[in-house]
Amino acid sequence: MKNNRLNIRTFLSISITIMVLGFIGVNYSVEKIRQQYLEIQLESNHRTAQTIAKLFDEKLGSGIKEEELIKSFQSAIEGSHSDEGYLCMFDQKDGVLLCHPDTSAIGMSINSDKMKFLNLNGMHNELLFDAVSTTKEEYGILSFSEPARSEIAYMVPVPGTTWKISVHENLDKAEKLLTQLRLVAFSGFIFLSLLISLIATWAVRKISRMHEKEIELKNRELEQNNNKLINLNLQIENQHAIISKHAENLEYEVKKRTAELESIYSKLADLEKSKSDFLAIISHELRTPLNGIIGFSNILEQELENEDHLEFVTGIRISGDRLLKFSETALLVTQLKVQSSKMEFHPIAIRDTILEVLKSFDEVVQDKHLKIIFEIQPESGTLFGVVDLIKQCFRNIFENAMRHAPENGLISINSFQEAGHICVTIHDNGKGFSDEALLRQFDLFGADDISHHSEGYGLGLVAARLIMLSHSGDIQIANQADGGALVTLKFQNLL
């Protein structure tokens, strides 16, 4: 009984699926046939209408009068109206029938809302009069409300006249034939669907029985394995009880260790705060006296007239400036080392930033008569970074290059993209880096050997490297083959 129900459900499922898909396919095919029939019939009517229009044009050109030609055409088509098709001729100007197989229709006005025309050229509905009154060829489906019928019509104007030849084909007859075709196709398909469903149901049930036997064997194996799993589960439960006891002890140890770590973390936080406070105090305590020294030195330079004293005061001011700059750079290096400052990243245009930093060195460039070659295009790239840090990085590199370029020296600044990075190179024609400086690149404790000059401690390069690292970038130093130092900055091209 159970198998019979399953067979019936399988048969119904297969039959319904095949019929639904088949009905869609058959209906689609019939509609395609209908469209092709319309296209073929329209093309045939087109050729006929063009041939007659051309013939009329030739006859008129040979001197035959219009009245004679109309009479001759009416005589040829009179009585030929049938269920299949016919020829007629309209007057575009007056909107009346000039010639028609049914003589009673001659002179009838076509300017009526009972004569609708589906214009397949423009794909819109209109009155028959609107289609006839145009001076171009029109084709579509003509429908009459009384008596109700539809026709395929192709209308071609006769050159040099107000006539329009129209070839008609009975669409209702074609629709009846297509309806019969649908009935035959659907009937045949239903029979084939039922036959296919019966065969498919038999095949499915045959295969199902084979699989059912295999499933029975698998079920027996699964039952045996299930018994084994029950035994294993009992063993696991015993082990779980033992593990739970160990877990309780472990949880106590974890809480104990966590408390110790929290205590250590609290001490580290206090230490970090103390370190930040110490850096802030050192920065303040260095800048306050240095600003006083530099300020008073500037006043003394303006007031002193003794050249020896003026030279001493100028030396004090220069040393104060260098010491202030050193303290600021040292503080920046320390902050970057401990990452105490909050990094707020913003979009930065490489070209505009470099131009802004270079402008702050205009006085140095003029005093040393330096030539700056700037080859960075407006579309050189954009990156995410801390604006002040990126500017400080460029400022440190440019300051080194300008300080140690000779009088009337040359500094080249270039930019290019390489493997997803924006690269900026700064090349001066000074003495370049020493061998020891190249060997101990960016060594903080040997910073005085890194710089390619005798002044300063090279902290500017160390700070520049730390800034680049904080932006996931890189800095490289080298000497050019033709002389001079070369510094390459590599930024990630994020935009």
What is the C-alpha to C-alpha distance for residues 82 and 454, in angstroms, rounded to an integer? 114
Provide the edge-to-edge strand list for the sheet that holds 96-99: 96-99, 85-91, 163-170, 148-157, 138-145, 115-119, 124-127
Task: Please tell me the predicted confidence (pLDDT) of residue 451.
Answer: 40
The residues near 169 (Cβ < 8 Å, ≥ 6 apart) are 41, 44, 45, 84, 85, 151, 152, 153
Question: Concatenated DSSP letters for 95-159?
Answer: TEEEE-SSGGGTT-B---TTEEEEETTTTEEEEHHHHHTSSS-EEEEEEEETTEEEEEEEEEEPT
**Terminal-residue alpha carbon distance, the chain:** 72
Strand 371-375 with 96-99, pairing: unpaired
Cα-to-chain-centroid distance, residue 59: 65
Task: Please tell me the predicted confidence (pLDDT) of residue 486.
Answer: 92
Task: Please tell me the predicted confidence (pLDDT) of residue 450.
Answer: 40
What is the C-alpha to C-alpha distance for residues 421 and 380, in angstroms, rounded to an integer? 11
Task: Please tell me the predicted confidence (pLDDT) of residue 454.
Answer: 38
Peptide bond into 347 cis (omega under 30): no
What is the C-alpha to C-alpha distance for residues 387 and 356, in angstroms, rounded to an integer? 12
Domains located in the chain, CATH noted: 2-178 (3.30.450.20), 342-492 (3.30.565.10)
Tokens 């593990």 sit on residue = 243
Which segments of the chain have a pLDDT < 50? Answer: 340, 445-457
Q: Are 479 and 495 in contact (CB under 8 A)?
A: no
Q: What is the pLDDT of residues 235-252, one digit of tens each?
A: 888 888 888 788 777 878
Q: Are 394 and 354 in contact (CB under 8 A)?
A: yes
Q: Pull the structure tokens for residue 360.
A: 């702050």
Q: What is the pLDDT of residues 361-382, one digit of tens each?
A: 999 899 999 999 988 876 677 8
What is the C-alpha to C-alpha distance for residues 274 and 253, in angstroms, rounded to an integer? 32
Task: Please tell me the predicted confidence (pLDDT) of residue 456.
Answer: 41
Report phi then psi at 54, rounded to 5.
-65, -40
What is the C-alpha to C-alpha distance for residues 174 and 44, in angstroms, rounded to an integer? 15
Angle between helices 171-303 and 2-61 (to 10 degrees): 90
Report phi then psi at 26, rounded to 5.
-65, -45
The residues near 113 (Cβ < 8 Å, ≥ 6 apart) are 127
Residues comprising the chain, all counted: 495
What is the C-alpha to C-alpha distance for residues 475 and 466, in angstroms, rounded to an integer? 9
Task: Please tell me the predicted confidence (pLDDT) of residue 351.
Answer: 87
Q: Are 92 and 135 in contact (CB under 8 A)?
A: yes
User: What is the DSSP secondary structure assignment for residue 446, as one 8-state letter?
Assistant: G
Q: Are 287 and 280 in contact (CB under 8 A)?
A: no
Task: Please tell me the predicted confidence (pLDDT) of residue 88.
Answer: 92
